[in-house]
Amino acid sequence: MDTHTPDTDAHSPYAPHILFVCVKNAGKSQMAAALLRQLLHDRVNATSAGTVPGTVINALSAEAVAEIGASMEGHAPQRLTDDMLREADRVIVLGEDPQVIPVEGMKHPIERWKVAEPSEHGIEGLERMRLVRDDINRQVLALAIELSGQPGEHTDIMLNLADDLARRYEGRLTREQVRKVVRDVHAEILPISKAPAFVPILVERRAVAVLDAQVEGREPELTDLTH
């Protein structure tokens, strides 16, 4: 279980505690927490738990999120408890299978995200896990944008930006490499931007500089990201 305590110092914003829940806490909920931590770092306390937890993290889940820069390292499946439900600012259940009963003292009604299951269409292995990751990531990105005070339309803008840049660098960088750069730059800019409305423009400018440098085998030039 994450032991991070939200920072309430006057110089730091409160870090909301988001608890993701699935059945085994070995894949989907761990992916969601890892993806949210990647985008917001210490601006969020993202944890996860399972209704019937497994014993180890799903290796393909870990591999899929690592491809775009997120990490499950240091986290293991854990059982959902009533105290976890009370302590979280928001509880998000992934998929239809987990049965989570609200308890007295919860701060917010339980939310449920739909998550597509590619195995129903015969898609298995890493390809399946990438599709699950992308479905979860779309919803995580929308949550991160909400929590960081950006306009809601930035979700589609940022997803389209990653796709556009993946096409621009096709044949030179993989789609996952491009997405990792976009996500890392987004996370870099969020806490320092003075104008949330212009975050996508700043992300695109910085991401292109980083991607060009990767293609050319050099270090990217430093740029001012605060405007």
pLDDT, residue 223, reads: 61
Which string of DSSP letters, residue by residue, matches 6-62? ----TTS----EEEEEESSSSSHHHHHHHHHHHHHGGG-EEEEEESS--SS--HHHH
Q: Among 113, 132, 148, where does a domain finish?
A: 148
Mean pLDDT calculated for residue range 162-186: 95
pLDDT band at 227, cuts 50/70/90? very low
Q: Are residues 133 and 105 in the same domain?
A: yes
Residue 32 predicted with pLDDT over 60: yes
CB 38 within 8 A of CB 69: yes
Domain range for 192: 151-227
CB 195 within 8 A of CB 227: yes
Q: Are residues 139 and 157 in the same domain?
A: no
Q: Are residues 48 and 140 in the same domain?
A: yes
pLDDT, residue 13, reads: 61
Q: Which of 64-68, 168-172, 179-183, 186-190 has the lowest mean pLDDT?
A: 186-190
Q: Are residues 158 and 118 in the same domain?
A: no
Residue 122 predicted with pLDDT over 50: yes
Contacts of 35-38 with C-beta under 8 Å, sequence gap 24+, read 35/65, 35/70, 35/133, 35/136, 35/137, 35/140, 35/141, 36/140, 36/143, 36/144, 37/70, 37/71, 38/65, 38/69, 38/70, 38/71, 38/183, 38/184, 38/187
Q: Are residues 21 and 125 in the same domain?
A: yes
- Distance CA(13)–CA(91), nearest Å, equals 20
Q: Are residues 212 and 144 in the same domain?
A: no
Q: Are residues 19 and 102 in the same domain?
A: yes
Q: Are residues 138 and 165 in the same domain?
A: no
pLDDT, residue 63, reads: 97
Q: The domain that contains 213 carries what CATH number?
A: 1.10.8
Q: Are residues 110 and 5 in the same domain?
A: yes
Q: Cα dihedral angle (79, 83, 88, 92), rounded to 10 degrees?
A: 40
Mean pLDDT calculated for residue range 59-82: 96
Total domain count for the chain? 2
- Distance CA(30)–CA(227), nearest Å, equals 34
> Which residue from 31, 94, 36 is spatially nearest to 66, judged by alpha carbons?
31
Mean pLDDT of the chain: 90
Q: Are residues 157 and 174 in the same domain?
A: yes
